Structure formats: C-alpha cells, structure tokens
Amino acid sequence: MQRTLCIIKPDAVEKNLQGKIIKIILDAGFQILNLKPVRLTRKQAEKFYEIHKDKMFYSELVEFMTSGSCIPIALVKENAVNDFRELIGATNPAEAKEGTIRKLYADDKQRNAVHGSDSVENGIKEVNFFFPEIELTM
C-alpha cells in the first residue's frame, strides 16, 4: 500500500467541484485517510512547492495556491502514486487524457484543479506536511 497526497486546488474549490472530484477518486479505488479544508499562508505554500522555487512560475503558483481555500486529502491504495497521477492527467489540461480530472475540470496549466504527489517518497512527505500520523486512520 502507498500513500499519496491530493490537493483540491483553489480553482476547483471556488467552483464547488470538490464533491465530483472526491467521487472520481473513490470510484477509482482510493481510500481517504483524512481531508480538511485549509487556507494556506504564503509561507506554507512556498514551503510546499519549495522544489519549484527557481522556476519562472513559482511566485504566481504561490499566489494562486493562497488565493482561496484548498482541500488536502491523504489517500492510500496499492500503487497509489502512479495510479493517482494517471487519474489526474497531465499538468497542462490541453495535454491531459480524456476522462482525467484535469481534462474534466482544469482551466489551464496553473489552475489545474488538483495536485498529486510525484513519487513514493514525496507521497509520504506531503501527506505528513498536512496530517500528523495520529490523524491518519483507515
């Protein structure tokens, strides 16, 4: 079993898509260990996306992620990391496969509805960024 972190991003929360997105995730066989709405501070968003700090899009990304509430969701499943990346689709919705969450609901490559961890190691780290172990129950 692997853990992976989903975040329903502010664009999707603003459009009230959280129910539809969570249904897709559950129908795909993921189990939710925990979820909670949060409004990220600038510091928290900067820390979460630290690996992108030298990228051109970093400051706008931080701006976007702090623009409204988002919903981190701790997920568990066999092969969760890769399966969740498949389920969400490419970063840019124009390149995402039919039926993926980003194809369905993303506006563009920044406002792309959901986050998904990109490795097993980051799945664990990112789940722990938002949830203490004691709050991660099956």
Task: Give whole-number Cα distances, 42 to 13, 34, 39, 81, in Å.
Answer: 18, 23, 10, 26
Hey, which residues are catalytic here?
115
- Per DSSP, the three-state class of 23 is helix
Verify binding: residue 57, ligand UDP, rule CB under 6 A.
yes
Radius of gyration of the chain (CA): 14
Verify binding: residue 3, ligand UDP, rule CB under 6 A.
no
DSSP H helices, 41-119, are 42-48, 58-65, 80-88, 101-105
Binding-site partner at residue 100 among ligand UDP, Mg ion, none, CB < 5 to 8 Å by type? none
Verify binding: residue 83, ligand UDP, rule CB under 6 A.
no
**5 in Cβ contact with 129 (< 8 Å):** yes
Verify binding: residue 110, ligand UDP, rule CB under 6 A.
yes
Minimum Å distance from CB 119 to ligand UDP?
10
Minimum Å distance from CB 119 to Mg ion?
9
Q: Which residues bind ligand UDP (CB under 6 A)?
A: 52, 57, 61, 91, 109-110, 112, 115, 118
